Structures are given as C-alpha cells and as structure tokens.
Structure 1
Amino acid sequence: MKGQGEIDALDREIIKLLQEDGRKPYTEMAQRLGVSEGTVRSRVNRMVEEGIIEIVVHANPGRVGLHTQAIIGLTTQLGMTEEVAQQLIPFKEVRFIAVSSGAYDLIIQVYVENNERLLEFVHQKLARIPGIVRADVSIELKVYKDTFDFV
C-alpha cells in the first residue's frame, strides 16, 4: 500500500500524459492506461492534494512580452540567505529562487520585458534588499530547452 506522497507506476503514467497535454481529458487518459475514468480522476486529485503535482499554465515568456530572461547569482551576507530569499518571493519578475552550494548563495531566474527593465530590477529592487553583497547577472541569449516533463 502506498503511503502519503508516494507514487506508483500508474501515477507516473498519468503524470507523463498530463505533461504531454495538461488539458487531456480523463476519459482519454483512462482509455490509454486501461483503467476507469474515476481511477484517473481520483489519482490526479490525490496527487494535487498531496502536493505531488501542480496543474499550471506554462506561458512562453517571449510570446507574453517578457523578452529578457536572466539568471542572477546572488552572494549574501553570512546568515542572511533565508531572509534575502523571502524578500525575493513577492517580486513578479522572479520565476525561480534556489539556495545553491556553488559560487553563489542564491540562484534566481528573472523574466522582464527588456534590458532596461532588467537594469531597473537590479538597481532599484535588488539593490534595496538588505543582505545582498553581490549580484552576477547573466542574460539568457537563447533557450534550447525549457520543460517540466522530468518524470
């Protein structure tokens, strides 16, 4: 018997189908997997409730006017990493925040309209956050892969 937060082979197959097309009808998934629609529905609902999956829309940044994407490595004052990360969360420009074991304390990904907005973000928003010692900004020049289908 599976415990909470665990998945089995059927759950994995359901996830794969949703990653192909998040709008795929449960009836179609059930038919492909050889189970009932109710089974698919209950499995999806359970995985959502347990935080195993999220059903979200992944917009193409360039198509919605966010033409400049950057990865920013942040160095923080010793002991301030958590506080800095918490202050970054509300910024709509920030898509991703992670603590890093490499050269930076935090890695963030930022999506903005253009280079001018990136400059404003760095100099007007990041610069005002106590605890940031350094920001190393790298603009993404070309994206070869941007996916969430890793199951």
Structure 2
Amino acid sequence: MNELDGLDHLDRRIIAALQVDGRRTFSSLADEFGVPASSVRYRLKKLEDEGVLQVVGIANPLAIGFDRLALIGVQVRPGSARAICKALAALPETSYVVITSGKFDVMVEVICRDVAHIVDVLENKIGALDDVVSTESFFVLEVHKLAYGWGVPEVSSAD
C-alpha cells in the first residue's frame, strides 16, 4: 500500500507544516488548522509510528567536524542489493542508502571526519562486505542545495 493512501487532509497539512518548521508546537498547529491540540498530537504520533514522518534536528556536518562528504557507487553480486543496503544503512557514517538502476546497484552517501576515516569506511566497512564487487567514490566539493522538505500532495498554501 502506498503510504499516501492512508493520509487525510489534516495529516498532509501537519506533515507540510513540520517540513517547514519541525519545532512547531501542537497548540500552534492546532490553532492554524482549527482542531484540538490533542488531535494534532495523536496524528503526529500515528504518523511517526507508521514511519511516514520523522521529526529530527539536522546538523550541518561541516560545522561539527565532518569535512569529507562523498557519494559512493557500489556494484554488488546479483540478488544481493537489499542485503547490502541493510548492512550499509547500519553504518553510522551513512546518511543515504538507495538501490539504483544503471552502472551502480547501490548509491551511498557517507559523511566522514577526514581522509583517513573515509579510507577506513571504504576499505574496512563497505569493501569488506562479501557481496560488494566494486565501489567508485565521488567526493562532494561544494553543496549548493540540501533540502529535506519535498512537499506533500494536495496541500497548498491556501489550505
């Protein structure tokens, strides 16, 4: 089932509002949407429990001592992409792990402290996985957009 199938208009508005400002209070959302704060609290808990929404603080890695960001293309043995993704997702250095089409079976974003750290991740963590055939690293030199709000269907600013 598509997660959006179970979302109503209020759920979508809560998600949209929290993507703009994840620190909004239940009462401010309730006032904006014309519902009780308990309804917002219940809906948010349900969205979190169902894995639809996660409200977190995102730190700028460059500002806290992580100055090596890289995308890593990973080629794996046939049939092992999901298992490799599960293993990579468990690594603290990974922030993004996806199965892809094209030259690479899996793409991974890693955030590391320095060159020695990224070498360790490539050689001793990613490269050490049995079904990894090869990797190719793409170091991030400049970030021009980093966004976490991708909109919610059927929610407009006029709602």
Equivalenced residues, count: 149
Greater shift, 65-74 or 50-59, is seen at 50-59
Greater shift, 132-141 or 46-55, is seen at 46-55
2:42 and 2:124 map into 1 onto residues whose CA distance is 47
Is contact 1:70-1:109 (8 Å) kept?
yes
Greater shift, 4-13 or 140-149, is seen at 4-13
Per the alignment, residue 113 of structure 1 pairs with 113
Residues 17-63 of structure 1: per-residue CA shift (max 9 Å, x gap): 11122121111111122222122112112212222211222221112
Per the alignment, residue 59 of structure 1 pairs with 59
SS in structure 2 at match of 1:134: strand
Per the alignment, residue 33 of structure 1 pairs with 33
Give, in angstroms, the shift of residue 92 of structure 1: 0.8
Give, in angstroms, the shift of residue 93 of structure 1: 0.7
2:76 and 2:86 map into 1 onto residues whose CA distance is 13
Residues 57-98 of structure 1: per-residue CA shift (max 9 Å, x gap): 222111221111111000112222233223223211111111
Query: Is the alpha carbon distance of 1:91 and 1:16 closer, same or farther for their aligned partners in structure 2, counting shifts above 3 Å?
Result: same
2:50 and 2:84 map into 1 onto residues whose CA distance is 28
SS in structure 1 at match of 2:144: coil
Greater shift, 114-123 or 136-145, is seen at 114-123
Per the alignment, residue 95 of structure 1 pairs with 95
Per the alignment, residue 146 of structure 1 pairs with 146
1:47 and 1:38 map into 2 onto residues whose CA distance is 14
**Percent of pairs identical after alignment?**
26
Gaps of 5+ in 2: 152-159
Is contact 2:75-2:132 (8 Å) kept?
yes
One-letter code aligned to 1:147: A
Give, in angstroms, the shift of residue 4 of structure 1: 9.5
2:30 and 2:83 map into 1 onto residues whose CA distance is 45
Runs of 4+ in 1 over 3 A off after TM superposition: none
Query: Is the alpha carbon distance of 1:47 and 1:64 closer, same or farther for their aligned partners in structure 2, counting shifts above 3 Å?
Result: same
Greater shift, 94-103 or 114-123, is seen at 114-123
Per the alignment, residue 82 of structure 1 pairs with 82
Query: Is the alpha carbon distance of 1:5 and 1:54 closer, same or farther for their aligned partners in structure 2, counting shifts above 3 Å?
Result: farther
Gaps of 5+ in 1: none
CA RMSD of aligned residues (A): 1.9
Query: Is the alpha carbon distance of 1:62 and 1:105 closer, same or farther for their aligned partners in structure 2, counting shifts above 3 Å?
Result: same
TM-score, normalised by the number of residues in structure 1: 0.88
Per the alignment, residue 47 of structure 1 pairs with 47
1:10 and 1:85 map into 2 onto residues whose CA distance is 33
